[in-house]
């Protein structure tokens, strides 16, 4: 059975996803049928079905005193996400008011794991119509962070964020040069030792990331003077790099 791990964005665990997908395939069905198809034991399946009912992802109907369960239409899953988004939007003014009442903080923030890396990347492209400067392999960014790189480039384009990038002069990286126009960037190349990490300069911040599957982490330095210094070094490197 396909794992549909993307459904974890709805705060579903592995067994909940199996139950939902099985119910979707079967249509209106009994608990034992869903358990058999999903491979989850019956007692656990029944318990999960009850949880999914509370989440509004599974419905049930009583026919001749027998419980039948049915998965909601996949289109409605997007509505679930939209509901969450609207709830957060409704309290944004209050949250921002709290933020304005606090003294602006500067310093270093650390992030670990896939979700941590996503947080860093979302911060980098949070300001529309801005410009970022990056150092690191454009190929390995797309390859090692495939779980998020497509979303990153989509949001970046939607927000009209342009980039200047210095990458390593390798066949893999050169092969992605043709996407510069699509991704609103200008990539140049340097003859340096290859590493699986990247540096991003944006606003008054500098972010550093490691891309390796077993070592995904990063940190953001928020300081105007440090950002200016790193940007000055980037501009010199960009100028000397090959097109």
Domains 5-75 and 105-240 agree in fold = no
Q: At what angle do helices 42-54 and 14-26 cross, to 10 degrees?
A: 90
Half-sphere exposure of 188 (CA within 13 A, CB side): 15
pTM above 0.85, yes or no: no
Among 114, 120, 173, smallest CA distance to 147 is for: 114
Q: What is the pLDDT of residue 46?
A: 93
Delimit the domains of the chain by residue range.
5-75, 105-240
Sheet with 197-202, side-by-side order of all strands = 107-112, 217-222, 205-210, 197-202, 131-136, 162-168, 185-190
- 226-230 mean pLDDT: 94
Question: Residue 109 corresponds to which tokens in the numbers above?
Answer: 């923030």
Among 117, 179, 130, 181, smallest CA distance to 159 is for: 130
Of 24-28, 47-51, 113-117, the poorest mean pLDDT is in 113-117
Q: What is the pLDDT of residue 162?
A: 95
Q: What is the pLDDT of residue 2?
A: 65
Helix (H, G, I), strand (E, B) or coil at 201: strand
pLDDT, tens digit (0-9, with 9 covering 90-100), for 113-146: 878 888 888 899 999 999 999 998 888 877 766 6
- The two counts, helices (H) then strands (E), for the chain are 9, 9
- 151-168 mean pLDDT: 91
Q: Under 8 Å CB-to-CB from 138, ≥6 apart: which residues?
A: 165, 167, 173, 176, 187
Under the banding of pLDDT at 50, 70 and 90, the label for residue 232 is: very high
Identify the CATH class of 105-240: alpha beta
On the question of pLDDT at 8 being above 60, the answer is yes
Paired residues of 133 in beta bridges: 164, 201
On the question of pLDDT at 3 being above 70, the answer is no
H or E, element range at 132: strand 131-136
CA distance 93 to 88: 10
- 150-155 mean pLDDT: 86
CATH number for 5-75 (one of 3.20.20.105, 1.10.10.10, 1.10.579.10, 3.40.50.920): it is 1.10.10.10
Task: Classify the phi-psi angles of 107: left when phi > 0, otherwise alpha if psi is within -120 to 50, otherwise beta.
Answer: left
Q: What is the pLDDT of residue 194?
A: 72
Q: What is the pLDDT of residue 100?
A: 59
- 162-166 mean pLDDT: 94
């Amino acid at each position: 059975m396909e794992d549909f791990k993307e459904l974890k964005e709805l705060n579903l665990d592995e067994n909940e996803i199996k139950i939902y997908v099985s119910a979707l395939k079967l249509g209106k069905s009994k608990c034992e049928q869903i358990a058999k198809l999903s491979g989850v034991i019956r007692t656990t399946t029944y318990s999960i079905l009850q949880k999914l009912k509370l989440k509004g992802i599974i419905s049930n109907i009583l026919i001749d005193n027998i419980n039948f369960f049915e998965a909601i239409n996949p289109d409605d899953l997007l509505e679930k996400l939209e509901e969450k988004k609207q709830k957060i939007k409704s309290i944004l003014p209050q949250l921002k008011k709290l933020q304005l009442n606090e003294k602006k903080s500067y310093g270093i923030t650390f992030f670990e794991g896939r979700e941590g890396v996503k947080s860093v990347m979302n911060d980098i492209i949070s300001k529309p119509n801005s410009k970022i400067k990056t150092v690191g392999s454009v190929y390995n960014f797309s390859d090692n962070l495939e779980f998020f790189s497509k979303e990153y480039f989509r949001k970046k384009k939607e927000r009209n964020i342009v980039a200047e990038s210095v990458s390593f002069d390798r066949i893999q990286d050169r092969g992605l040069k043709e996407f510069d126009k699509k991704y609103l960037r200008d990539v140049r190349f340097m003859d340096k030792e290859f590493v699986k990490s990247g540096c991003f300069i944006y606003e008054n911040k500098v972010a550093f990331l490691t891309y390796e599957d077993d070592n995904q982490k990063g940190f953001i330095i928020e300081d105007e003077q440090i950002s200016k210094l790193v940007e000055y070094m980037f501009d010199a490197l960009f100028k000397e790099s090959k097109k």
